[in-house]
Amino acid sequence: MAKFLNLFLLSIYIRSILLGFHAHALKPYDHFFTDECLIHPLKPQYEGGKIVNPELNEGLFGWEAFGDAKIEHMESTDGINKYIGVFGRNKTFHSFKQTVYLEKEKLYTVSAWVQLKGHSRADVAVMVKTSTGFEIGGWVLAKSGCWSMLKGGFTVNVSGPAELYFESKNLQADIFADSISLQPFTLQEWKSHQRYNVEKVRKSGVKFNVLDQWGRPVRNATVRVTQKHRLFPFGCAMNKNILDNLAYQKWFLPRFKYTVFENELKWYSTEYFPNNPDYSISDKLVQFAKSNRIKIRGHNVFWDVPDDQPSWVKGLPPYALWGAANRRIESVMNRYKGQVIQWDVVNENMHGQYFENNLGSGASCDFYKIAHQIDGTAIPFLNDYNTIEQCWDPYASPWKYLQKIKELRSCIRKMGIGLEGHFTSLNLPYLRSALDAYFLEQILREIHSHPKVKGIMLWAAISPSGCYQMCLTDYNNFRNLPTGDVVDNFISNLTHAADLPGSTDSNGIYKTRLYHGQYEVIVNHPNGRSTSFQMDVLPRRDKRGGHAFSIYIKQNGKGNTDVEEKKQHIRKKCIMVKKLASQPIIPGFYKNPGGLAAWLVPHGMVEGGITARKSWHGMENFGHLAKVLEQ
């Protein structure tokens, strides 16, 4: 049974793909990861955790051979580090091992530094053998002559002794390892990591300072904050059935402002016959989304899996395939230029190689270049599965994904990272609905708390025959299933509901923490006067974080109130202006210098704050700007 979610990441800080979380807890998660191959390995994370003799400074103490192979304690020629090696491997699992006691209810993160001898490079996995089977902790593409970092994690379904060892299908390679670590976390500790990250990454502290017209603090003024729009993109797939189904629309529209079309933009849907594209259905869906202010992800221009080509494409010789592919990308991307915010340009090109096999190894690179030339505003995306949900898949491991990113970034700098999540659980039909809801809630919490995730898209479009894997409602009445209730609860958690009004203290100050988004603020003076204004609470890149506003309630009989923010930083600039409360704030679209993408989040350009403007024409055209007061 699978729960299928399409997760899209806008960050291209590629070293942060591996999941992990900081915490206030006694054992904070160590986020560090590098894909550089180093002359010497770094120290083990968590000082090795449960691993005995993690740096091999005590010979082979704690380690023994796994299978019929010879292991040795070794030392670098410069004497800086000691390590363990295995030689004469005749089976993939012939290696070195350490026996550790594992607990069913805990989560484990594992890391090591790995090097090869006898072969230039090979995939190496860290494995765990329990009494009930095997678990893969992670993969690395290890190399000869330098040390590569392997990092991953796993859970086990039974408590008891287990054997941690390394494995490679390349039997010609001798495997060396050093700085090996295994760190457990309880579920409570992991949830603490998640909560900490949400508070740190998804929220900002806000301080209101209410003053009278002479600049004196107003005590016992009430401040009510209500969220109007959330910043974190959370969307759901739709299909053509929504066009004529009012119940479907009524359920969908209040929940989602981001979408992707299930099949309607795919090549086999828009060009069933060669040279005869038909965009009638996709046109209607685009118009429907635009009329309801829903932003669209384009899925997809090409699909690199052989079975997912239009039937007439499969037999084309290379020269004809090039012609058909160029007509396709020119046609679909020009048609929806400026209307689609992202494109999966070559879908699933980690698992599929259809175009590479037929057009050459640089096919994907060429398509990404063309896509960027046609529509430079739409972010081109990598998109594949099994990177975060299935450790057994060597084709799309985090390490392989990093290498694919490097390959494509040699062709095009501006790009996004898309991770499909095909999550599975036990096939217990009579519990399916409850299990779907349980695991969906866990997955959403995990993903949302990761600092580098910039948005989530659920793949849950519905039709009379059901959904691809997981539905959120029934089709007849569009009543929530348990999974739909999970989604509603998640959306509710992203929304700062109107709190009981807070009161300013003797210094006229009221503090709170808010999810990033657009808010309406109502301030009531003890004498009965009130004022309201809108503000954008945006992420801050500095460590201090937070926003602060000075609210001047004037006794001028006109009801006008000035709201000031003290310092708004825009890369080497400091703008200090005022805004009248009557002027609305309109959320904007931002684009970073240097090609780095930021979706609704001004990373690299605005260091947080609130913006107020009548219209939006780019970063240079601020209408009025509320000034930031750093805390």
Listed in sequence order, the residues at least 6 apart from 327 whose beta carbon sits closer than 8 Å to its beta carbon are 275
Residues 284-313 pLDDT 10s: 999 999 999 999 999 999 999 999 999 999
Fold of 16-191: Jelly Rolls (2.60.120)
Measured in whole angstroms, how far is the alpha carbon of residue 472 from the centre of its chain? Answer: 22
Q: Map 105-121 to HEC letters.
A: CEEEEEEEEEEEECCCE
Q: Could you give the CA distance from residue 605 to residue 598 in angstroms, rounded to a whole number?
A: 10
pLDDT at 550: 66
Task: Give the pLDDT mean for 440-465.
Answer: 91
Cis-peptide into 57, omega within 30 deg = no
8-state DSSP, 600 = S
The C-alpha atoms of residue 64 and residue 62 are separated, in whole angstroms, by 7
* Helix, strand or coil, per DSSP, at residue 19: coil
pLDDT score recorded for residue 498: 58
Domain ranges, ordered by start, for the chain: 16-191, 196-229+498-625, 232-494
Mean pLDDT of 347-367: 93
d(CA 479, CA 251) in angstroms, rounded, equals 8
Secondary structure in 3-state letters for 311-347: CCCCCCCHHHHHHHHHHHHHHHHHHCCCCCCEEEEEE
In DSSP terms, 123 is beta-bridged to: 141
Is 214 or 265 the better-scoring residue by pLDDT? Answer: 265
User: What does the alpha-carbon distance between residue 39 and residue 115 come to, in Å, rounded to a whole number?
Assistant: 10
In the DSSP assignment, the letter for residue 218 is -
Residue 617 has pLDDT above 60, yes or no: no
Under the banding of pLDDT at 50, 70 and 90, the label for residue 523 is: very high
DSSP 290: H
Residues above pLDDT 70, as percent of the chain: 77
In the predicted structure, residue 483 carries a pLDDT above the cut 60: yes
User: What SS3 string covers 540-597?
Assistant: CCCCCCCEEEEEEECCCCCCCEEEECECEECCCCEECCCEECCCCCCCCCCCCHHHCC
Short-list 218, 198, 196, CA closest to 208 = 218
Asked whether the beta carbons of 384 and 401 are under 8 A apart, the reply is yes
- Quote the mean pLDDT of the chain: 81
CA 44 remoteness from chain centre? 27
With tokens 């591996």, the residue in question is: 18
Our measurement of the distance from residue 575's CA atom to the centroid of its chain's CA atoms, rounded to an integer in Å, reads 32
Predicted local confidence at residue 213, as pLDDT? 83
Please answer whether residues 314 and 307 qualify as being in contact, where contact means their C-beta atoms are separated by less than 8 angstroms: no
Q: Is the distance from CB of 533 to CB of 598 less than 8 angstroms? A: no
pLDDT at 560 over 90: no
- Per-residue confidence band for 574, with pLDDT thresholds at 50, 70 and 90: very low
Which pTM was predicted?
0.79
Cα 299 from Cα 301, distance rounded (Å): 7
Q: What is the pLDDT of residue 608?
A: 28
Note the pLDDT of residue 578.
26
In this model, does residue 630 exceed pLDDT 60? no
User: Would you state the torsion angle of the CA atoms of residues 74, 77, 78, 83, taken in this order, to the nearest 10 degrees?
Assistant: -20
Q: What is the pLDDT of residues 108-127, one digit of tens each?
A: 999 999 999 988 899 999 99
Residue with tokens 């500790």: 189
CATH class, range 232-494? alpha beta
The token pair at 232 is: 């974190």
> Are the CB atoms for 4 and 422 separated by under 8 Å?
yes
Residue 18 banded pLDDT, cuts 50, 70, 90: very low
- Between the alpha carbon of residue 239 and those of residues 234, 270, 274, 335, 563, the distances in Å are 17, 14, 24, 19, 44
What are 67-74's contacts with CB under 8 Å, separation 24+? 67/91, 67/93, 67/94, 67/95, 68/94, 69/94, 69/95, 71/96, 74/176
Which listed CATH number (3.40.50.300, 3.50.50.60, 2.60.40.10, 3.90.230.10) goes with 196-229+498-625? 2.60.40.10
- pLDDT score of 422: 58
pLDDT at 553: 59
Mapped onto helix, strand or coil, the DSSP state of residue 436 is helix
12 burial level (CB within 10 Å; 0-12, 13-18, 19+): buried
Residues 625/579, Cβ–Cβ less than 8 Å: yes
Q: What pLDDT does residue 577 have? A: 22
pLDDT score recorded for residue 563: 52
pLDDT score recorded for residue 491: 94
CA distance 141 to 173: 12
Closest CA to 90 of 178, 171, 194, 200: 171
Cα(236)–Cα(258) distance, rounded to whole angstroms? 7
For 196-244, the pLDDT digits (tens) are: 999 999 999 999 999 888 889 999 999 999 999 999 999 999 999 999 9
